[in-house]
Amino acid sequence: MKIGFDLDGVLCDTDMNFLRLLERVPPFQDDLEKMMEFEVWYFNERKPLLNPENFMSEGDEYYIITGRDNRFHGEVTEMWCRKFTPNAKGVYCVGEYPKPVEEGKAKKIVELGLDVYIDDHPVTVKKLRATLPSHVKVIQYGGRWIK
């Protein structure tokens, strides 16, 4: 079985309120590059929430598909995943800030031929369920989000 996991909020502890606040605070408010530099530090300090190995049976493989933007967070994401999820078959940053992430996630899920994808955001789960082929199961896990 091929299983995909979202990173932030599923495998990795994330405080989205902090990141939203960062967007509104000078000197980051009008300086995307400076904000992204700070976010690299922030993401590097995150702690794991869930071990994907606990979901694996013999012959299963797992992938990480995150909405993080590869241009700004690719390197720190790869480093974090090598440290905490070394057996992942692939790590994919599909976000293109400020676009919604669902299209990129759906494309990668189909490309990899995943059977199951786990995400924490209810809107993402809803959109993926509506978009993906019916044989792909999308599960909401976690989700400290306001609906």
CATH number for the domain that contains residue 121: 3.40.50.1000
The mean per-residue pLDDT over the stretch 102-121 comes to: 98
- Evaluate whether residue 10 is within a structural domain: yes
Q: What percent of the chain has pLDDT over 70?
A: 78
Identify the bridge partners of residue 2 per DSSP, sorted by sequence position. 61
For residue range 36-94, list pLDDT tens digits in order. 676 666 776 778 889 999 999 999 999 999 998 888 788 889 989 999 999 999 999 99
Q: How far apart are CA 68 and CA 104, in angstroms?
A: 11
Looking at the structure of the chain, the number of domains it has is 1
Q: What is the pTM of this model?
A: 0.82
Task: Report helix, strand or coil for 29.
Answer: coil
User: Residue 88: what are its φ and ψ, rounded to 5°?
Assistant: -65, 135
Residue 54 burial by Cβ neighbours in a 10 Å radius (0-12, 13-18, 19+): exposed
| Separation between Cα atoms, residue 139 and residue 31, nearest integer Å | 36
Which pLDDT value is given to residue 45?
A: 73
pLDDT, residue 46, reads 77
Structural domain includes residue 42: no
